[in-house]
Amino acid sequence: MNDMTPTREQREAKLEGMGCKRKRVEDIRFTQGKGNYVDDLKLPGMLHGDFVRSPHAHARVKKIDDTEALKVPGVLAVITAETLKTVNLAWMPTLAGDVQMVLADGKVLFQNQEVAFVVATDRYAADDGINKVVVEYEPLPPLIDPFKAMDKDAPVLREDLAGKTTGVHGPRKHHNHVFEWTVGDKDLTDAAFRKAEVTIKEMISYHRTHPSPLETCQCVCSFDKIRGELTIWGTFQAPHVIRTVVALIAKIPEHKIHVISPDIGGGFGNKVGAYPGYICAAVASIVTGKPVKWVEDRIENLTATSFARDYHMTTEIASTKEGKVTGLRVHVLADHGAFDACADPSKWPAGFFNIVTGSYDFPTAHLSVDGIYTNKALGGVAYRCSFRVTEAAYCIERAMDILAQKLNMDPAELRLKNFIKPEQFPYHSALGWEYDSGDYHTAMRKMMETVDYAGLRKEQALLRAAFKRGETREIMGLGVSFFTEIVGAGPSKNCDILGIAMFDSCEIRLHPTGAGIARVGSKSQGQGHETTWAQIIATEIGIPADDIMVEEGNTDTAPYGLGTYGSRSTPVAGAAIAMAARKIKAKAQMIAAYKLEVHEDDLEWDIDGFRVKGLPEKTMSMKDICWAAYNSVPPGMEPGLEAVSYYDPPNMTYPFGAYICVMNIDVDTGVYKVRRFYALDDCGTRINPMIIEGQVHGGLTEAFAIAMGQEIRYDADGNVVTGSFMDFFMPTAVETPHWETDFTVTPSPHHPIGAKGVGESPNVGGVPAFSNAVNDAFSFLGSTHIQMPHDYWRNWKAAKDLGAVA
């Protein structure tokens, strides 16, 4: 050894493997404006399509006249449902087992529904054409209020379902009913409530909102008539699923469909499903023989493609006088809009809402969900959460606070009293999940100590007294949230999309010089996969992360994967990456043994290569093994060094966290100030702490937006009143609070690297923290529950209703 020999620490550091705050490699291009997004794509002869949309929430379409539109210079075609019927595409299946109109067929069911698709030589001509298409409507009574959907005399929305008393998820109770889904033991739960010393009941609504990524949904479709091949560049979170859907509905052989997701500017669930824009662009390309681009604008994005939430959750908890919970009963009215277009795994009409028992040891629980149709945009997707997990977390976290209030107990204490204990894991919940791991008490106590919870409560008590004496107009709230997520869909035993099991995949190919490429079935929309996936490989096989190129999104080259949403990438694709790397490592070990002339079992792994046990100077680095793999493998072994893994997870993973929000509200204006927000996350093994922190910052900002004002609201006639960023609350850096982040580490016992997924935790856990802070602030004035969103005027109204302002 001479002085130039790197130390173990230096070798370790050079890898930039797991645990390293590696800078995001993709940011080099993003921060220089060199990203490659769908709208950057310009093909020779490319045409542009755009939609004529319905001004009405509910109306019969009597006539569509395109005569004047076709006279607009540059307009080439106007596609309507009648056109699509000739290719059997006027309707298409949704991922939730429903069907939806691609273009209005006989009637429109929500404002801004797609009515006709105008194809032109440029975007301006297309829009001029849109304004010349004359559509004759006969308005019908709109159904907006979900609580009136199943009234006897409620208008019939879905005429296509006339007479259908069963849907894919079982019996339908009413013409506007989609499904009923029940889980849990009803009798046992009813009995628990009969015996309960204390009960609470509250209708907790999680309002309709929207993922609203910076880049809207878009695609370019190009059909090659000679080859019979369709290429689609699109903003797809799940490109392989899109390819399969297109093959199934357009009857083009799957190998002749090329789906490419280039760089994506945020998805948050908005870009999982298939939208009319994709179908119309594809049909337009087939009809015209030219590439066709479709790019949604902001208003279209907010009003037509996939809202989220709109869950109305009547929640009851049974408990002892001492605050030990004995039962949970929840009924959900789920507003799906005009078509059920959730992007949930097929067998889960309400997603994983049955995680609603949260972090607490409920001996029994019962859940029922009624899905209904209204004259609103279709959905609803999982906005930065595993399917309906954020609704569930909000429901139970709000309800626990309400119970604490009723028991006159501190909400943090109530939680500590009811947490699932560390020794109870793996824990079987009353609603059917097996929680893999957790240490809730440690996380909660760490949060309480860090923020001086007791001190904050004292300060609140003083301020409340001062308020009652008329010395201040400010009130203060502490919003505690302790969430458990269920992510990483999912095991083939319970998760599929259109019959395809929800595995994920990775293919690693190492080149002779010790660099390589990893292709993965997931698809980053900003999560930084190109950075973190390489880090997993670096640690697993000792090749520096910088020497691994990560590629996703091209269905021709990437192995089949189910895409990125529901925090599934690290739990599922991340596991596939580790498993593929381990296959490579196993082969590498055989090569090293051969070259070092020892038995495989005499080798041990050492950071970036193998060494002979007991002879630390006898080593072979992974770089050298790569070279050997291409010229001197053991007799009988195939040359090369590559591996593929398809990973079917044995279970979901269960990240958790303890959040707290400290907020003051001026009752006269309703203006709030977030004084402090602390978020402790436990996502198991931490691959890149800097990326985790970035994800938490982003998710908390969304949670802040949702809880404090971000809403898709309709007036009584079904007009969207929050259809632009002027009214749909999108906070800027100025409004966004300062975030404090922290962590504990409880690795997942079944995941190859112990990781659990974190990207969505802050959205899931953040919303209840904000809402609980507002509710906690007002509780001393006598309220039990104030519905979200908590924007200024609603805070003022709450104060007024409670008699705190004149």
602 near another protein, judged by CB under 8 A: no
Choose which of 452, 721, 745, 782 interacts with another protein (CB under 8 A). 721
Q: Smallest distance from the beta carbon of 262 to another protein, in angstroms?
A: 23
Is there a catalytic annotation at residue 384?
A: yes
Of residues 301-360, which lie at the interface with another protein (CB under 8 A)? none
193 near another protein, judged by CB under 8 A: no
Choose which of 423, 614, 732, 738 interacts with another protein (CB under 8 A). 732
Of residues 677-706, which lie at the interface with another protein (CB under 8 A)? none
Structure tokens at 493: 């035993």
Question: Cα–Cα distance between 454 and 570 in angstroms, integer?
Answer: 37
User: Within 13 Å and on the Cβ side, how many CA atoms surround 805?
Assistant: 19
Q: How far is CA 565 from CA 35, 118, 382, 485, 759, in A?
A: 21, 32, 8, 14, 9
Q: Smallest distance from the beta carbon of 804 to another protein, in angstroms?
A: 13
Question: Cα–Cα distance between 430 and 670 in angstroms, integer?
Answer: 40
121 near another protein, judged by CB under 8 A: no
Enumerate helices (H) and strands (E) in the chain, giving the number of each.
19, 35
150 near another protein, judged by CB under 8 A: no
131 near another protein, judged by CB under 8 A: yes
Q: Smallest distance from the beta carbon of 800 to another protein, in angstroms?
A: 8
User: Cβ distance 492 to 502 under 8 Å?
Assistant: yes
Residue 744 three-state SS: coil
Q: Residue 764: what residue type?
A: V
Stretch that binds another protein, among 146-154, 389-397, 691-699, 717-725 (CB under 8 A): 717-725
Stretch that binds another protein, among 381-389, 407-415, 691-699, 789-797 (CB under 8 A): 789-797
Q: Smallest distance from the beta carbon of 73 to another protein, in angstroms?
A: 10
717 near another protein, judged by CB under 8 A: no
Question: Cα–Cα distance between 737 and 470 in angstroms, integer?
Answer: 28
Q: Smallest distance from the beta carbon of 293 to another protein, in angstroms?
A: 13
671 near another protein, judged by CB under 8 A: yes
Residue 153 three-state SS: coil
Comparing C-alpha atoms, which of 699, 721, 709 is closest to residue 269? 699
Of residues 283-312, which lie at the interface with another protein (CB under 8 A)? 297-299
Choose which of 199, 450, 472, 669 interacts with another protein (CB under 8 A). 669
801 near another protein, judged by CB under 8 A: no
User: Cβ distance 118 to 69 under 8 Å?
Assistant: yes
Nearer to another protein among residue 397 and residue 791 (C-beta): 791
Nearer to another protein among residue 516 and residue 723 (C-beta): 723
Nearer to another protein among residue 280 and residue 593 (C-beta): 280
Nearer to another protein among residue 160 and residue 668 (C-beta): 668
Question: Cα–Cα distance between 175 and 242 in angstroms, integer?
Answer: 30
Nearer to another protein among residue 433 and residue 729 (C-beta): 729
Q: Smallest distance from the beta carbon of 796 to another protein, in angstroms?
A: 6
DSSP code at position 159: G
Q: Smallest distance from the beta carbon of 355 to another protein, in angstroms?
A: 33
- Active-site residue, from 158, 208, 384, 415: 384
Beta bridge partners of 647: 504
Nearer to another protein among residue 624 and residue 668 (C-beta): 668
Choose which of 1, 226, 716, 726 interacts with another protein (CB under 8 A). 726
User: Cβ distance 645 to 533 under 8 Å?
Assistant: no
Structure tokens at 28: 């080099």
Beta bridge partners of 552: 520
Q: Smallest distance from the beta carbon of 710 to another protein, in angstroms?
A: 11
Exposed, middle or buried, 84 (CB in 10 Å: 0-12/13-18/19+)? buried
Choose which of 307, 729, 739, 770 interacts with another protein (CB under 8 A). 729
Comparing C-alpha atoms, which of 746, 774, 734, 748 is closest to residue 680? 746
Q: Smallest distance from the beta carbon of 714 to another protein, in angstroms?
A: 12
Comparing C-alpha atoms, which of 523, 512, 446 is closest to residue 236? 523
Q: Which residues, at least 6 apart from 87, have a Cβ–Cβ distance to it below 8 Å? A: 250, 283, 286
Stretch that binds another protein, among 119-127, 348-356, 450-458, 460-468 (CB under 8 A): 119-127
Q: Smallest distance from the beta carbon of 727 to another protein, in angstroms?
A: 4
Stretch that binds another protein, among 7-15, 323-331, 633-641, 732-740 (CB under 8 A): 732-740
Is there a catalytic annotation at residue 760?
A: yes
793 near another protein, judged by CB under 8 A: yes
Structure tokens at 44: 């020779």
Give the DSSP letter string of 584-632.
HHHHHHHHHHHHHTS-GGGEEE-SSEEEETTEEEEEEEHHHHHHHHTT-
Q: Is the peptide bond before 490 cis (omega within 30 degrees of 0)?
A: yes
Residue with tokens 């909660």: 444
Of residues 735-754, which lie at the interface with another protein (CB under 8 A)? 735
Nearer to another protein among residue 38 and residue 196 (C-beta): 38
124 near another protein, judged by CB under 8 A: yes
Q: How far is CA 518 from CA 103, 250, 510, 536, 663, in A?
A: 40, 31, 9, 11, 45
Stretch that binds another protein, among 599-607, 654-662, 721-729, 764-772 (CB under 8 A): 721-729
**Residues present in the chain in total:** 806
How many other β-carbons are positioned within 10 Å of the β-carbon of residue 659? 30
Question: Cα–Cα distance between 221 and 208 in angstroms, integer?
Answer: 31
Is there a catalytic annotation at residue 474?
A: no
- Active-site residue, from 16, 296, 300, 760: 760
How many other β-carbons are positioned within 10 Å of the β-carbon of residue 712? 26
User: What is the distance of C-alpha 225 from the center of its chain?
Assistant: 37
- Active-site residue, from 237, 525, 695, 710: 237
Question: Cα–Cα distance between 447 and 680 in angstroms, integer?
Answer: 7
Exposed, middle or buried, 599 (CB in 10 Å: 0-12/13-18/19+)? exposed
Give the DSSP letter string of 338-359.
TSB---S-TT-TTTTGGGTTTT
Total residues interacting with another protein, rule: CB under 8 A: 33
Q: Smallest distance from the beta carbon of 463 to another protein, in angstroms?
A: 20
98 near another protein, judged by CB under 8 A: no
Q: Smallest distance from the beta carbon of 206 to another protein, in angstroms?
A: 19
Q: Where are the alpha helices (DSSP H) in 597-645?
A: 622-629
Nearer to another protein among residue 4 and residue 726 (C-beta): 726
Q: How far apart are the first and last CA of the chain?
A: 82
Structure tokens at 555: 């269905």
- Active-site residue, from 385, 395, 661, 683: 385
DSSP code at position 684: B
128 near another protein, judged by CB under 8 A: yes
760 near another protein, judged by CB under 8 A: no
Structure tokens at 278: 């994709």
Nearer to another protein among residue 25 and residue 804 (C-beta): 804
Stretch that binds another protein, among 126-134, 139-147, 267-275, 611-619 (CB under 8 A): 126-134
Nearer to another protein among residue 218 and residue 555 (C-beta): 218
How many other β-carbons are positioned within 10 Å of the β-carbon of residue 468? 11
Nearer to another protein among residue 401 and residue 791 (C-beta): 791
Stretch that binds another protein, among 122-130, 195-203, 433-441, 754-762 (CB under 8 A): 122-130
**What residue ranges bind another protein (CB under 8 A)?**
50, 123-124, 126-128, 131, 297-299, 668-671, 709, 713, 721-722, 725-727, 729-732, 734-735, 791-793, 796-797, 805
**Active site residue ranges:** 237, 384-385, 760
